[in-house]
Structure 1
Amino acid sequence: MTHAERRAIALFGAVVAVSALTAPAASAAPAGPPPPGGVTFEIANLVGPMGCQLSGYALGADATAFTVTYSRYQARAGGGSPSAGRWMRCVTALRIHPPSGYTYGLERTDYRGSADLAAGATGTLKARSYFPDRADLPVRDILALNGPYSGNWTAADETLPDQVVYQPCGEIRSLFLHSELAVDSGSSDPSKVSVMSMDGADGSLKATYHFAWKTCPK
């Protein structure tokens, strides 16, 4: 296992703390290349057992992307499915530890999943990603599918370069990765099961978080 791939499961004691933000983007140089090495991370799945279960995660060798795969993350409705299963939420806390002199922000998230929706049913993906001081950011609509639909789907959530929020230089904060899947039976045949999913055995159903990097002032 390389230094950049070191992983640790940890529940962060300060995940509910809210601290003041002091314009992190202004405290670093324009976005540039990632650090040459020495990036580590910690991750904790904060929602379960009725939310999602992670099956794997990895930080890319160049530290520009973090990928999460799921063993269970699925919303379903119809056909006698329990009402509690129509809406599922996944919240993961990620702490990136950059080497001295670097900071990062999230610039894009790519989602891949599958759906099997009966005619008249709908499936939706909503998401937000934030540092603790931005916990009031709304959950945004990322994708809406209308049945009949059967197959894989992809969706992207991208932030403009000048709107990327960076971790303040010299601090380590949790980046919360929040997503929601929901299925509404709508006018579909109530005996038909409709599913919206980001879990799968083939590993192609996942979320990939892309980072922008900056150097901090000396």
Structure 2
Amino acid sequence: MLGRLGIAVLSVLGVMLTSVEPVTAQVRTVDPPDGHFGMSAVSVRGTGCPVGTTSVIANSDKTAFTVTYSNYTAQNGGGVALFQARAQCVIGVSVSVPQGFTFGIKSTTFRGYADLAAGATGTLDTQYWFVGQPMTGRIQREYRGPFQDNWQATDEVPISAVQWMPCRANYPLNINSQLIVRAGSVNPNTTSLMTMDATDSQITTLYGVTWRAC
């Protein structure tokens, strides 16, 4: 039997436990703050982003930023050189945010075009992370032939999984992406391709952002 003291202690512990919020609930997002939000590509390398074919722009309303590519293609089959089956792009992005605030990526949308013969596959594989933090934000999609159309891949990130740029320093953001095309065995002599280009005047990739105070 519990004495009065034991019951009292348990009661206090119960109040303490029920009053503690989960870590995810402690994240308080805010509206986009006043001040400058800027992004620019400071390093670009890879077969998917030759010099002058890639740009990074922060939206004026501070709710997103866009990355555009104009020469990002992987292709395989039909005598195409094997090295063309994989295209990659690694971008280092300089970031500027309003003082006292930080941001994280809450959603991503990728667009492109694919022409895949029967048996062929096209794969999108992307990651993003702030310098000094673990690689997160990995997104993978696979499209199977026959497929001849525009494609779009969208990913929503729960607030508990958002990776925030560390406060008190504008840490660079790394964006790593690749396209891989496999010819398959059904029509290996037919060229298949996959692009991540804004060929239809739409934005190639869109990263939605969310804000919180430091």
TM-score by length of structure 2 reads: 0.80
**Structure 2 match to 1:17:** none
**CA-based RMSD:** 2.2
Give 1:130-209 correspondences, 5 Å limit.
Answer: 130-135=129-134, 137=135, 140-204=138-202, 206-209=204-207
Unmatched tracts of structure 1, length 5 or more: 1-24
User: Any idea what SS the aligned residue of 1:119 has?
Assistant: coil
The alpha-carbon distance between structure 1 residues 138 and 39, as it changes in their structure 2 partners (threshold 3 A), is: closer
Alpha-carbon distance, 1:205 to partner: 5.5
Give the secondary-structure state (helix, strand or coil) at the position aligned to 1:133. coil
Q: Describe the SS at the equivalent of 1:162.
A: helix
Q: Post-superposition shift, 1:165?
A: 1.4
Instruction: Tell me by how many angstroms 1:179 deviates.
Output: 1.1
Separation (CA, whole Å) in 2 of partners of 1:78 and 1:190:
5
Structure 1 residues 29 and 190, CA gap change in structure 2 (3 angstroms) = closer
CA distance in 2, matches of 1:187, 1:117: 13
| CA apart distance, 1:208 | 0.7
State the shift of 1:117 in Å. 0.1
Within the alignment, does 1:52 sit opposite 2:39 as a pair? no
Q: Tell me how far apart the structure 2 counterparts of residues 147 and 158 of structure 1 sit (CA, whole Å).
A: 26
* 1:138 CA displacement: 7.0
Partner Cα separation in structure 2 for residue 202 and residue 41 of structure 1: 24
CA distance in structure 2 between the partners assigned to 1:78 and 1:156 by the alignment: 28
Q: CA deviation at 1:134?
A: 3.0
> 36-45 or 95-104: which moved more?
36-45
Instruction: Give the percent of matched residue pairs that are identical in Structure 1 and Structure 2.
Output: 35
- Give ranges in structure 2 of 5+ residues lacking alignment: 1-22
Q: 1:97 and 1:105 mapped to 2: Cα distance? A: 13
Letter in 2 for 1:35: P
Residue 91 (structure 1) shift:
1.2
- Equivalent residue number for residue 118 of structure 1: 117
Shift of 1:93: 1.4
* Kept in 1: contact 2:40–2:56 (CA 8 A): no
CA contact (8 A) 2:74 2:85 kept: yes
Matched to 1:65, the amino acid is A
Name the structure 1 match of 2:71.
Answer: 72
Q: Is the Cα contact below 8 Å between 2:136 and 2:163 reproduced in 1?
A: no
State how many pairs are aligned: 189
| Structure whose CA Rg is larger | 2
Output the amino acid matched with 1:206.
Answer: T
Which residue number corresponds to residue 20 of structure 1? none
Residue aligned with 1:46, SS: strand
Q: CA deviation at 1:41?
A: 2.3
* Structure 2 residue 41 is the aligned partner of structure 1 residue 43: yes
Are 1:126 and 1:139, in contact at CA under 8 Å, matched by a contact in 2? Answer: no
Alignment deviations for residues 33-77 of structure 1 (CA, whole Å, 9 cap, x no partner): 1112322223134313x2324344321111111111111111000
TM-score scaled by length of structure 1: 0.79
Distance 2:139 2:167 in 1: 31
